[in-house]
Structure 1
Amino acid sequence: MRRRVTPASPRRGGAAGVALMLGGAGILLGVSAAPAQAAEVAYATECIPPAISGLPPVQGTTKVEITAPAQAKVGDEVEIVWKFVQAASKNPNILDLGQDTVQPTGTLKAAGAQTAAIAMEGPRQNPPIPKNSDMKLSDMKGKLKLTAPGEVTLTPDAYNINVNKPISTDTKCTPKETVKSAATIKVTDGGGGPGGTTGGLPTVVPTLPTSVPTDLPTGLPTGSSSPSSPSSPTPSESETGGDAGGSSTGGGDGGQSDFTGKEVQVPYACKTPIGDKEATSPVQINAKKSGGSFDLTVQFKKSVMDSPADIPKDSVKPSMEVVLGGADKGTVHVEGPTNSEDIKSGDPIEIPDLTGTYKPGASGESTLSPGVLTIEALGTTTTCTPVKTEVSLTLDTTEQASGASGGGSAGSSTGGSAGGSS
């Protein structure tokens, strides 16, 4: 008799990862080879955006699935996948997030036959995420080595969303109610194959990683310690330092070599990696005669803002284009050194003295006013443009060969090359 053999049906792998919005971030979760069924659980979560964003805590509901073997034996090391089905919020309307800039990490609690805090982590993989859109996060995975027979429950706990550009920022999310277990593994002494397990997954509400970022970690000129609450210009000082050419002294040939400018309140409109900002900073321009030229020093009289994140040394570089007026025209480039020490989150960011050399291009009374301020930090650029001209210093100048001259941008390149020192 001929026997008929029926080939066994191949076992198919689990579903691919699904995207979830996490307080602005969605999480993609992959499923392992023999996934268990995972029940969906929802729970209240509070997410704290980075201080740099200026945003309040996000209150929302997170829905999560945890995938793990339904059955295993003591001694096995099992892989667990954390998948977000729904997050608390979208990427806020502050900053577009680039590809592969967002990474989720978190903690999964094991209880019952054994207790453990399982570290969960996803790769830094995401598509570009426009502002005010759903976040996309990678699947988080972790491993647990089983040490005792019985039932082990798995429950989502706190998690963190890190965005590494334009600066590194973290959004921390914490459950605000008791979370139900999301999956259960039946652990035996001697064996047992993998199987499906169902869980009611409570998980944490994702929040917006901003990075938004967010403000610029390098000195936004600001009258206050917070980039979100700039101070307003002081009318009396602005008016005083205006068209009259608020300078303490003229620079004639009477033997004087040091000239102290007037402190003026400069209202700035800033373009930052996390959006437009307005701020007012007190600025003073001083000069020292050096032959026919002047060595300039531009001083900011107070810290422009508190650091929204830890900033390593040698990563913040400020510069300015001093605007010439009166007899002369053009700009003079001045710049400062990079920060010599690490700046801790919450510490004030101070702009050092900016220095450069002004070679006059015309004879007569020439005025100097704070111009465009540029801050480069951690690969980002903040550009702050004065809303109006505030003259800090007036000098009696004598035209020099190849000086700034009265024509347009020539002064900028001439001033920069002549004496941009740091």
Structure 2
Amino acid sequence: MSAAVVALLLGGAGIAITASPAQAAEATFKVKCVPPAGGGDPVEGETTAKVTAPATAKVGDEVDVVWETVKPASNNTDLMDIPKDAVQPTGWITVGGGQAGELKVVGEKKNPPIPKKAPMVMSAMKGKLKLTKAGKVTLTPGKYDVAVTFSFGTFVTKCAPVGEVKGGATIDVSAGSSGGATNGGATNGGATNGGATSGGATNGGATNGGADGGTTAGGGGQTDFPGKPVEVAFDCGPVVPGGIKTPVTINAKKNGGSYDLTVKTAKGAMAAPMALPAGALKPSMNVKLGGADSGTVKVAGPANADPIPDKAPVSLSDMTGTYKPGKSGKVTLSPDQLTIDVTMAPGATPINVPCKAASSGVSLELDTAAQPGGSGSSTSTTGSTTSGGLAETGAEDEGGIKALALVAGTVILLGGAVFTFTPWRRLRGTR
């Protein structure tokens, strides 16, 4: 992301104005695409992007910019067919010349069914650019994300240019009387996305955060603040060799001065190696606060309500909690430690499997107002970090033994990452 930005995406704050017919220009460049965990190795290819914008405009105008993928960089993998209306692209256009910055453009989730190994099909990505300085403004396509949604979760492939990108559209901007040149609003090259800071969501910024900076949720009358999925690497120590990697999404709904949080992991589909009873798996997570506020907010999900048959899919439930702001300002929310409580028999002491977020990212940013007794303040946090309890389980506790067998032997898919606990065959043989 670029440093300071004067290019704005204004959500619902004006009407797009174009002073001349739109003109399009193509750019062909090489990219490297990194699929999500479990999606295969990175690939390099060549893509052609067509950028459409008005040929001329004046300072203060807000213009429409469109990025169409004429030639995709790669085909669908040979793993599975992509269903209809499952692909949503998000791109970042470098703004140069008369003004500098980065413009975020978002496409609709609209595509025909894409068979294995067939060329990827992506909708046109659109955004609005506020022109703040006179001169020639260049629009050059850059990195982009491709989110594909299946019945068991959403997975994001990140693509970035390899080398310099040449080509793109140019707008000849003349001086105007509008005072929009000094109106900031974006702090990280589109990651906080100008318009979203004023409560707008029409340009896709509030529903699809930047690749690095999360989603900014503004004020106004907005009550629902969806976050963006971020890839999180969890370190579970020797219990889970290699750890866990999964997309995690933090969503918020305003409730008075507080926010009801819902945290989702990608739903997995993996055959369970044994039948699991109802109530066997109960997840919880610490949401880390940053920016104006600090501390953590704990969210927890219910245990599985129904038994999970042998070889049936295993998923974690959605986790919920409440964030009551302790400080006013922009507050970031990031996934932190994940804990899975494993209980294999009624009344048995749960086994706590703690998984520290070795790497994470911002899923959501809220523009908050401090509340009395705010739970997220630096002097008071909601929830506590749960430490492991494997060593505390006595051998006389049959439920604990079974739970330990699960921890030692169960194969769980959490957001596309499969992790296996080694002694399963031996433990299952003695069960």
Query: Scaled by the length of structure 2, what TM-score is found?
Result: 0.43
Q: Which has the larger radius of gyration?
A: 1
